[in-house]
Amino acid sequence: MVNLKCQHCDYRWDYHGETEYYATCPRCRYKVKIPEDKVGMLRQRRLNLELKSRLSMEKKPVKLYGIAGIVNKIIEDYQYDESMLIQILLQLQKNFGWLPRDMIGEVSKQLEVPVSQVYQIATFYKIFSLSPRGKHLIRVCIGTSCQVRGVPIILDRLQSLLGIERGETTPDLKFTLEAVKCMGCSALGPVVVIDRDYYGSVKPAHLEKILSKYE
Ligand code: FES
């Protein structure tokens, strides 16, 4: 807004228009030339308005669907704070079961952090999985004590019953088989842990019955 004076009738008024060179006097309709020093103010005002409108368009919430929507909901909960990247990935892993490539890309895009940084974290911590995980996680201890107590035979039998190798997931996404080093109960070896259930002194003959509990 600039204050103008009509060069014809001396009427003064606050000009809110956008034209930078001439304004029409509201009283006598005379075309008033806008003084040079006020043109700059008008120009600045127009630029501010344009910037404001562009920013409001950029901030307009966009409804995201699919993986982008899942990621967006969690990132919003963490207020787009990139320092919470690990927590965001943990939440996604918990909700989704694993971190697909598209999801990693979305996290990088929405948090505005390099995709390499997201991969670095997702591959550094064992808790994250970049491939689908089964509903039940079977962990077989391959620590020294379990090894000498016969875990290789247990592992072989499990692989044959499930039809997968260690580190893999059954095609029906029911089981994921992992080998881990010492579960902290070596005296009970061989040890197999399914989800949160511990099975000690496991014999190959026990395995079918144990697995049937998770069918
Ligand atoms: S070595 Fe198997 S539980 Fe420790």
Question: Looking at the predicted structure, is the pLDDT value of residue 12 above 90?
Answer: no
pLDDT score of 85: 95
Who contacts 85 (Cβ-Cβ below 8 Å, separation ≥6)?
107, 111, 113, 117, 118, 121
pLDDT score of 5: 84
pLDDT score of 146: 96
Q: Is 183 in the pocket of ligand 1 (CB under 6 A)?
A: yes
Per DSSP, 187 falls in state G
Average pLDDT of the chain, as a whole number: 87
pLDDT score of 158: 97
Closest CA relative to residue 18, chosen from 2, 32, 36: 2
Q: Can you list the domains of the chain with their CATH numbers?
A: 2-59 (no CATH), 66-124 (no CATH), 136-212 (3.40.30.10)
Q: Is 147 in the pocket of ligand 1 (CB under 6 A)?
A: no
User: Which tens digits make up the pLDDT trace of 32-72?
Assistant: 888 877 777 777 777 777 776 666 565 555 667 788 888 99
For 40, the enclosing helix (H) or strand (E) is helix 36-59
Confidence of residue 213 (pLDDT cuts 50, 70, 90): very high
**Ligand 1 pocket check: which of 191, 193, 198, 202 to mutate, most ligand atoms within 8 Å of Cβ?**
191
